[in-house]
Amino acid sequence: MTEQSKSAIVTGASRGIGRAIALRLARDGFDVAVNYVGTKAKAEEVAKEITDAGGRAFAVQADVANPADVERLFTAAEERLGPIHAVISNAGYMPTTHIADGDLAAFDKTIAVNLRGTFIVLGQAARRVVEGGRIIAMSSSAIGPAFPGYGPYIASKAGVEGLVRVLANELRGRNITANAVAPGPVGTDLFYAGKSKERIEQMSKMPPLERLGKPEDIASVVSYLVGPDGGWINAQVIRANGGYV
């Protein structure tokens, strides 16, 4: 790592929004730890795309809901890339189940990945990110319309937004920002799973811009927040959704 370069950890970076964030931060000059939980080949493809373009990156497996895994992830990033300047907690799980169904297995897994996992990642970030660094957690604009079937997901993301605001206060005096980015509907595998063509078309028309978001749209917001012009934005939830709520 050169004196000018910075390092970033992106969880859930093997595909979708996480992949776009990892690639964008690499273009911005960050060395990137590309985290994955089970999709090793895809994570290695992301890292290779970065290195083939002249950047520095490596893929590292870790389950964000496992404290030992997350500690190992941060240690590996420090050993391979140097001091950590930015952490993007992006790994997520989005089932659909109605509250009346009482599907505790789906609820527990959603909370474990989205809320517990974010709590663990933010804890490591708070201890390890250098002065002047940036911490970002991914929330969701689904909190607003409260669609039926998304109770566990929305509950987990509401908790994430609360954690970010508290963390920003706990980092007082260290010149480290903590924010959340809350995407609207974005055309990823996670979004398309289980939806009919008609439902996808309906949701694509909800924003005034009348299209689904692209992963790169969200990566651009993250890029701004971790970049030189984002330093005065703190304890905020940025609803990057094209205006659909």
pLDDT tens figures, 162-172: 999 999 999 99
Q: Are 7 and 82 in contact (CB under 8 A)?
A: yes
Establish whether 153 is a catalytic residue.
Answer: yes
Q: Is the pLDDT of residue 3 over 70?
A: no
**pLDDT value, residue 190:** 77
pLDDT band at 245 (very low <50, low <70, confident <90, very high): low
Q: Of these residues, 36, 153, 192, 244, which one is catalytic?
A: 153
Name the CATH superfamily for 6-185+215-238: NAD(P)-binding Rossmann-like Domain (3.40.50.720)
